[in-house]
Each structure stands twice: as structure tokens, then as C-alpha cells.
Amino acid sequence: MNERLAIVGGGAIACGLAATAAHCGTVLLLTRSEHSAKRAGATVARTLTKLGTDIDPARIQIANGDCDLAGATFIVEAIVEAYEAKEELLAKLAKLTSEDTVLATTTSSLSVERLAEASGAPHRFVGLHVFNPVPKMNLVELVLPSRASASTRSRAAALCETLGKTAVIVPDIPGFVVNRLLFPYLFSAVHLLEETGVEPRAIDECMKLGAGHPMGPLALLDLVGLDVAEAIGGEIGASLPPMLPTMIAKGALGRKAGKGFYDYEERGAQQGSGAQQERGAQQERGAQQGSGAQQGSGAQQASRAR
């Protein structure tokens, strides 16, 4: 890997990206606290084990708080999906790094142009929207702010290629391509559930068997996280089903919380969407060839960034 990569964040995207990059060299994963660092370390180790690789977890150097980033040449921000938090962090990173360091955000729905300007270094800024789970999803939506230099653009595309990803240049609009098309569809499944009372399993099986989707829309929302889905829906101006905030208020956020449209704390229910749990890896790979979930094939028809 030509770049010395640093990733700021401790969630699924940050850890997944770190595990992916570890195949190419050492990576710095910077979290906000000691607790976050320990949790991220466990997540990374678990991810590498699931991938069945012989990559030494020590390739991923995990630190917390302020850390010397002078050696990093490419820094990826992967924190909470909120303008205020991202803008504050990106402005700080720009001041801590040299003019040769590329800054990137993994935002899935926020304006990359706005974040680039907020950083104070728009000429060395890009959007790299990777998809969860990062090690398995091939697509990266590459968003290029207007003031990004030619060097920044080529280095971002080169990094994606090094990581084994297909970079597709997409417009800087809310939700970019994948989420802009995907989430209205996902929410329509919830509206149907509200209107008819049909079982989630029935909706998901119909879309899998009738439309050839590897994962049903409700199981996919559970995978993405209902709170994340609500935030993305708000950004793209989608019609949010009333059921969604009600479930979120009850803590039913999907897989990560053990309960969403399906109950993942009961093994039988985990397999509710047509052996969903056992075939999770295959379903996630197909369902997210684009997304916080995803119909990546549509996005991949756009021009590739090389």
C-alpha cells in the first residue's frame, strides 16, 4: 500500500475498513476513548477471524485520544453521521496534518462539498462511501468536491483499487446513488407492513423469491440499523414510516440490538428470513453490492474512477 493509512472511528465501518486495509499493510485506527479502543480491538479481531485470514491483528495499531498523525498520508473519518461532529473533527485533522495528507469522509448521505469546506482543506478532501460489511462489499461511492486537486482524486481512486474495491464516481447529492434509490424502497416495505399487518418474513420472502433479491427489505433494514436508516431517510427527504421512530424509541434497532423486525436473541427467529442467519455472509455480499445496505449493481453501472 503506497499510503500510510489512518482511520478515525471505532464503529462497524471504521473497524471493517481497518480489517480490509490490514491485508495491504499496517493501519492506524484512532478511537475517542480507551473503552472504544478496547471494543474496536475486539471487533477487528473478530472480523479477521470471520474472514479466515492469517493477517496478524497487530497490523492494526489502535490508539485513543490525541495521537501523532504526522506519519499518515491518507486519513479517513468514520464517525457518527452528523454534520457538527464531522465538521469539528475534520477541521482538527486538517490542522494536525501536512498539505500532502489526503482527508476523506465515509459519510453515506451528508454533503461532501460542505464537509470539504468545513475542513479548511477542500483541495485535499474526498468522500469515500464504503459499505457495510466493508471486507465483503466491493463498491465505494467516490464523491469528489469541486476544489479537490487532481492528485487528491487520483490518490483516492488508487487507494480504493489497492483495497480491492471498485470506485464509482457519484454526484454529491443526498444519499448519492445507492442510498437515494435504496431507502425509499426499504421504507415502502415498512409502509406495507403498517398498512396490511403482513408478517415481515412474508414480505422478505416475496422480494427474495419473486424479485431475486438476496436479502429482503426488512432484514436489510435490521442489518443497516433502524436508527441509521432513519438518519439517512431524513437526509434524502424520504417518507419515513411512523413505525420506525416507535421501534427506535423502544431500542429495537435491528441486529446490533438483538431485535428489530426480527428477534435475533432467539435462534429460530434469527433464521426467520429464509435461513437468514446461516446464509448471512452470502446475503450481505449480494445485498450490499451497494449499501448501508445495497443494490450495488445499479451504482456500479456508473463510470468507474480509475
Task: Indicate if 141 belongs to the active site.
Answer: yes
Q: Which one of 36, 138, 179, 291 is the catalytic residue?
A: 179
Task: Name, in order, each residue with C-beta under 8 angstroms of 206's C-beta and a sequence gap of 6 or more.
Answer: 216
Task: Name, in order, each residue with C-beta under 8 angstroms of 301's C-beta and a sequence gap of 6 or more.
Answer: none
Put the strands of the sheet holding 60-64 in their side by side order. 60-64, 27-31, 5-8, 74-77, 102-105, 125-130, 139-143, 166-169
DSSP per residue, 144-179: --TT--HHHHHHHHHHHHHTT-EEEE--SSTTTTHH
Q: Is 104:129 a contact under the CB 8 Å cutoff?
A: no
Q: Which one of 129, 132, 230, 273 is the catalytic residue?
A: 129
Nearest to 305 by CA among 127, 135, 109: 127
Q: Is 97:63 a contact under the CB 8 Å cutoff?
A: no
Q: Which one of 87, 113, 141, 284 is the catalytic residue?
A: 141
Task: Indicate if 108 belongs to the active site.
Answer: yes
Q: Which one of 36, 108, 119, 273 is the catalytic residue?
A: 108
Task: Indicate if 35 belongs to the active site.
Answer: no
Cell of residue 178, nine digits: 445507492
Task: Indicate if 191 belongs to the active site.
Answer: no
Task: Name, in order, each residue with C-beta under 8 angstroms of 167's C-beta and a sequence gap of 6 or more.
Answer: 140, 142, 156, 157, 160, 161, 304, 305, 306
Pairwise CA distance, residues 78 & 86, whole Å: 9
What is the bridge-based pairing of β-strands 74-77 and 139-143? unpaired
Residues marked as catalytic? 108, 129, 141, 179
